[in-house]
Amino acid sequence: MLNLGILISGRGSNMEAILDAIKKDKIPINPALIISDVSDARGLHIAKRLGVPAEVIPSAGSRAEYDTMILDALRRYEVTPQNGLVCLAGFMRILGSEFVAKYKNKILNIHPSLLPAFPGLYSQKQALEYGAKVSGCSVHIVDSGVDTGPVIMQAAVPVDVNDTVESLSDKILSKEHIIYPQAVELFARGKIRITGRRVIIS
């Protein structure tokens, strides 16, 4: 079974959705380690409640130095490129290209827009300001760009005239909690193949 590492910075609701699915035996993966760069992240309390090991690695040093600390922690918990999966779930740091190369096609992220629309920060605000009629969320492979890797799954939500950043974010978040565990399950069952930018699900 693969070992799963989840990187968070805050609320941890996507992490919780994934851990819940694992506890319900929907995903055959071992939740090995939660890492937070924020010491009082709400997600750390959830990890504790669910009995999943968690480490706080506060932001420090250069990107390369910080990445080395994360890599060391993942290695200690056997979340390796060979037998591991790393999920970014609201992790607010950008991983360096060496890290990404080491875990090539083994890092997933959830982003609150239909990529390639509205990458980066404040995607829900970007969608509203653009006047998009539909937005949503994307689970994608992490490559060395920001929100640029191959897309595994997406879910759409309508943008209503009365939507605010909060209401749109809530609608999108409820879809995130569905597709992120599904994508992790596909990965854990070896059902994902990547050719170029295309993710083929068997």
Which residues here bind ligand GRF, judged by CB under 6 A?
8, 10-15, 89-90, 110-112, 137, 173, 176
Name the amino acid, one letter, at 86. Answer: V
Is residue 45 part of the annotated active site? The answer reads no
Rounded least distance, CB 9 to ligand GRF, Å? 7
Minimum CB–partner distance for residue 182 and ligand GRF (Å)? 15
Q: Nearest residue to ligand GRF, using CB? A: 90
CB closer to ligand GRF out of 11 and 26: 11
Residue number with CB closer to ligand GRF (32 or 46): 46
Question: By the 8 A CB rule, do 155 and 179 touch?
Answer: yes
CA 124, 126, 132, 135 torsion-angle sign: negative
The rounded distance, in Å, linking the Cα atoms of 140 and 108 is 6
Which CB atom, from 61 or from 145, has the smaller least distance to ligand GRF? 145
Name the minimum Å distance from CB 126 to ligand GRF: 13
Question: Which residue, 2 or 47, has its beta carbon nearer to ligand GRF?
Answer: 47
Residue 50: other Cβ atoms inside 10 A = 16
Residue 133 contacts residue 147 (beta carbons within 8 Å): no
Taking the complex as a whole, how short is the minimal distance between the CB of residue 190 and ligand GRF, in angstroms? 25
Query: How many CB atoms lie under 10 A from the CB of residue 97?
Result: 14
Q: How many residues does the chain have?
A: 202
Active site residues: 111
